[in-house]
């Protein structure tokens, strides 16, 4: 039936009239996707770390939209169905040849070039969404995959996520150029069509199509997928985050070390560093911080037991690479320096922060060793807080 | 109010009202011990000079008590790492100089940091006397 339709469409223009090509679902889908991709693009490429939530939620939204579009592509209205724009290689080649000559055949729905673009966009968007979830679970220990993805996998997928995002940018550029070229060559205003849903068409007949049936099948399939997927989601989400171990509370640490400075999470230095630090307390970052032998021994054992080697968090993994001239300083590590390079000295000097070593002033979850992006909040100068 | 609850409340009230007294007696005993060791009467004036002057021999970044405790013992200080320090004056921080272990620990560390040596009993006594009379 679809082939018949294309043949009819390509017949010489006789009776031009307005037909509904893009149904309400397709139009809502398209513009919602535009908004969500803009949000993920802006937050991903330009945003501060603490915008991660917006990026992630927009990403979930994109995933949901694509899922709905995939179902609608099977059961939706005629021009929305994938089957209506899967073209043979010969037809695609012919179309590109015609395009090069500047006289492409007219298609009411997607032409072969547009169809290729749709499939490429859908494929890349699915890949970005999945890779994003893997990054979120591996690197940030957040989201549905937090319990199953190791840190290094997250790191690898961050690169993939990024490359795919640039690819998406290129595709979007191509898509927009394609829309303007086709609008010019065909005389259709394709942007307006995606708003009103209508195009001028020479097609003599409209499809016989039951909207009600489409909607019903769509909702049923969606419910089945979301329902069954929901169980998997809940099961995965209940797993404890990968790489965060359970640690005994150490009250001595909180007072003996925490009286002077933020009580750094043991995962922020390797065991060797903790040992070196605890045996050199008489010369502790420019002060004498000596402790009774039994107290310092107890603390040293505890710190080494929960040192960075035992954790698979973003902070533990990255801070493990030390500054070879200063093996006991967290703020001297290359990673710490890199991540704080954009923060002016004056910011650290603020009364509300005090020093580079006062993690908790800006990282609200520093006590847990997680250092989530969303938990960053740099306090202003005038706000004086008890730390 | 039932009788046991009332008794409990009364006991609590009694303990609460006695707490400063207990801290006070602990402080007195610390001072008495230092006094015996020092042999000379303590002077708030000498304590003030010890607190406010800049010293040589200690670690370069902490050459005076005032680096962290600010020039006024009545004010909240800040460690070099950015943590608040309750005021040193007894009138502002009621439980100061009442725990012998803490007193020993902080005099040891901070005298070494600021003076490059441990403080004498006389210096400690002067210091506590100064802080108690503000």
Phi, psi of A326 (to 5 degrees): -145, 85
pLDDT of residue A175: 97
> Closest to B82 (Cβ–Cβ): which among A288, A292, A354?
A354
Residues of chain B in contact with residue A292, where contact means CB-CB under 8 angstroms, are: 105
- The structure's pTM equals 0.81
Encoding tokens for residue A130?
Answer: 């999945």
User: Of the given ranges (A8-12, A80-84, A125-129, A178-182), which has the lowest mean pLDDT?
Assistant: A8-12
CB B123 within 8 A of CB B50: yes
Helix (H) or strand (E) holding A68: helix A52-75
- Please check the confidence at residue A67 and state whether its pLDDT lies above 80: yes
Helix axes B3-38 and B100-115, enclosed angle (nearest 10): 40
Phi, psi of A231 (to 5 degrees): -65, -45
pLDDT of residue A3: 47
> Closest to A261 (Cβ–Cβ): which among B60, B79, B113?
B79
Interval B95-111 mean pLDDT: 94
- Please check the confidence at residue A385 and state whether its pLDDT lies above 80: no
Q: What is the DSSP letter of A200?
A: E
- Please check the confidence at residue A323 and state whether its pLDDT lies above 90: yes
Give the long-range contacts of residues A364-370, CB within 8 A, separation 24 or more. A366/A262, A366/A265, A367/A263, A367/A265, A368/A244, A368/A265, A369/A244, A369/A265, A369/A266, A369/A267, A369/A268, A369/A311, A369/A313, A369/A315, A369/A316, A370/A141, A370/A244, A370/A313, A370/A315
- pLDDT band at residue A15 under the 50/70/90 scheme: low
Helix (H) or strand (E) holding A18: strand A17-20
pLDDT of residue B18: 56
> Closest to B113 (Cβ–Cβ): which among A287, A292, A353?
A287
**How many whole angstroms separate alpha carbon A6 and alpha carbon A16?**
15
Mean pLDDT taken over chain B = 88
Which residue in A22, A6, A15, A16 sits closest to A191, CA to CA? A22
B78 touches chain A (CB under 8 A): yes
Residues of chain A in contact with residue B61, where contact means CB-CB under 8 angstroms, are: 286-287
Which B residues 10-39 touch A at CB under 8 Å? Answer: none
Find the residue in A nearest to B111 (Cα).
Answer: A288
Helix axes A112-138 and A89-100, enclosed angle (nearest 10): 110
- pLDDT band at residue B43 under the 50/70/90 scheme: very high
Interval B113-133 mean pLDDT: 95
- Please check the confidence at residue B59 and state whether its pLDDT lies above 80: yes
């Amino acid at each position: 039936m679809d082939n018949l339709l294309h043949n009819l469409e390509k017949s010489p223009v006789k009776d031009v009239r307005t037909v509904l090509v893009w149904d309400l679902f397709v139009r809502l889908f398209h513009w919602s996707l535009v908004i969500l991709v803009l949000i993920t693009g802006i937050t991903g490429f330009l945003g501060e770390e603490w915008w991660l939530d917006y990026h992630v939620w927009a990403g979930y939204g994109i995933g949901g939209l694509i899922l709905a579009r995939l179902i609608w592509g099977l059961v939706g209205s005629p021009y929305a169905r994938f089957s209506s724009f899967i073209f043979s290689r010969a037809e695609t080649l012919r179309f590109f040849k015609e395009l090069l000559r500047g006289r492409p055949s007219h298609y009411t729905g997607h032409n072969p070039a547009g169809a290729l673009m749709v499939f490429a966009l859908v494929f890349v968007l699915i890949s970005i969404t999945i890779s994003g979830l893997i990054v979120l679970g591996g690197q940030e220990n957040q989201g549905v995959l937090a319990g199953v993805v190791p840190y290094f996998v997250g790191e690898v997928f961050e690169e993939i996520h990024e490359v795919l995002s640039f690819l998406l940018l290129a595709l979007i550029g191509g898509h927009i150029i394609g829309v303007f070229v086709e609008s010019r060559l065909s005389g259709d205003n394709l942007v307006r069509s995606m708003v009103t849903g209508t195009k001028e068409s020479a097609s003599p007949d409209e499809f016989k199509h039951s909207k009600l049936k489409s909607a019903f099948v769509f909702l049923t399939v969606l419910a089945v997928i979301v329902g069954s997927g929901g169980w998997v989601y809940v099961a995965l989400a209940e797993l404890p985050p990968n790489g965060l171990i359970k640690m005994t509370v150490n009250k001595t640490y909180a007072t003996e070390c925490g009286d002077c400075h933020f009580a750094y999470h043991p995962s922020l230095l390797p065991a060797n560093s903790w040992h070196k630090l605890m045996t050199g307390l008489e010369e502790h970052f420019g002060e004498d911080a000596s402790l009774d032998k039994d107290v310092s021994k107890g603390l040293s054992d505890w710190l080494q037991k929960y040192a960075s080697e035992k954790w698979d968090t973003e902070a533990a993994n990255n801070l493990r690479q030390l500054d070879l001239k200063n093996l006991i300083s967290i703020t001297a590590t290359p990673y710490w320096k890199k991540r704080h390079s954009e923060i002016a000295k004056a910011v650290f000097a603020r009364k509300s922060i005090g020093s580079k070593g006062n993690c908790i002033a800006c990282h609200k979850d520093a006590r847990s060793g997680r250092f989530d992006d969303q938990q960053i909040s740099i306090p202003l100068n005038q706000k004086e807080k008890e730390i | 109010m039932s009788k046991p609850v009332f008794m409990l409340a009364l006991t609590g009230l009694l303990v609460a009202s006695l707490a400063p007294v207990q801290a006070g007696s602990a402080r007195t005993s610390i001072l008495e011990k230092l006094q015996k060791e020092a042999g000379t009467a303590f002077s708030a004036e000498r304590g003030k000079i010890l607190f406010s002057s800049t010293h040589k021999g200690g670690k370069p970044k902490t050459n005076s008590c005032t680096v962290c405790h600010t020039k006024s013992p009545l004010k909240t200080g800040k460690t070099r790492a950015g943590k608040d320090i309750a005021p040193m004056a007894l009138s502002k921080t009621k439980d100061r100089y009442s725990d012998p272990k803490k007193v020993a620990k902080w005099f040891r560390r901070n005298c070494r940091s600021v003076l490059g040596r441990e403080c004498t009993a006389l210096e400690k006594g002067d210091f506590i006397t100064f802080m108690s009379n503000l």
